[in-house]
A and B are shown apart, each in its own frame.
Chain A
Amino acid sequence: NAGVTQTPKFRILKIGQSMTLQCTQDMNHNYMYWYRQDPGMGLKLIYYSVGAGITDKGEVPNGYNVSRSTTEDFPLRLELAAPSQTSVYFCASSYGTGSYYEQYFGPGTRLTVT
Chain B
Amino acid sequence: GQQVMQIPQYQHVQEGEDFTTYCNSSTTLSNIQWYKQRPGGHPVFLIQLVKSGEVKKQKRLTFQFGEAKKNSSLHITATQTTDVGTYFCAGAAGGTSYGKLTFGQGTILTVHP
Task: Give A residues with C-beta under 8 Å from B.
Answer: 31, 33, 35, 40-45, 48, 50, 56, 58-59, 90, 92, 94, 96, 98-108
Interface centre among B43, B48, B102 (most CB of A within 10 A): B43
By beta carbon, the residue of chain A nearest B106 is A42
* Contact present for B9 and A103 (CB under 8 Å): no
* Contact present for B42 and A50 (CB under 8 Å): no
* Contact present for A103 and B92 (CB under 8 Å): no
By beta carbon, the residue of chain A nearest B41 is A107
Chain A nearest CB, measured from B3 CB (Å): 11
Q: Which of B38-72 contact A (CB under 8 A)?
A: 41-45, 48, 50
Chain A nearest CB, measured from B50 CB (Å): 7
* Contact present for A43 and B43 (CB under 8 Å): yes
Enumerate chain A residues within 8 angstroms of B94, measured Cβ to Cβ.
Answer: 98-99
In the complex, what distance in Å separates the CA atom of A48 from the CA atom of B44?
Answer: 19
In the complex, what distance in Å separates the CA atom of A31 from the CA atom of B90?
Answer: 17
Enumerate chain A residues within 8 angstroms of B103, measured Cβ to Cβ.
Answer: 35, 42-44
Enumerate chain B residues within 8 angstroms of A107, measured Cβ to Cβ.
Answer: 41-42
By beta carbon, the residue of chain A nearest B30 is A99
By beta carbon, the residue of chain A nearest B1 is A59
Assuming the contacts A45-B101, A98-B99, asked whether A104 and B45 have C-beta atoms less than 8 A apart, the reply is yes
In the complex, what distance in Å separates the CA atom of A50 from the CA atom of B90?
Answer: 19
* Contact present for A101 and B99 (CB under 8 Å): yes
Chain B nearest CB, measured from A8 CB (Å): 15
* Contact present for B48 and A102 (CB under 8 Å): yes
In the complex, what distance in Å separates the CA atom of A105 from the CA atom of B31?
Answer: 19
In the complex, what distance in Å separates the CA atom of A56 from the CA atom of B99?
Answer: 12
Q: Does chain A have a CB within 8 A of B100?
A: yes
Assuming the contacts A43-B103, A48-B100, asked whether A90 and B33 have C-beta atoms less than 8 A apart, the reply is no
In the complex, what distance in Å separates the CA atom of A45 from the CA atom of B1?
Answer: 13
Assuming the contacts A48-B98, A100-B50, asked whether A42 and B42 have C-beta atoms less than 8 A apart, the reply is no
Interface centre among B42, B50, B92, B93 (most CB of A within 10 A): B42
Chain B nearest CB, measured from A111 CB (Å): 15
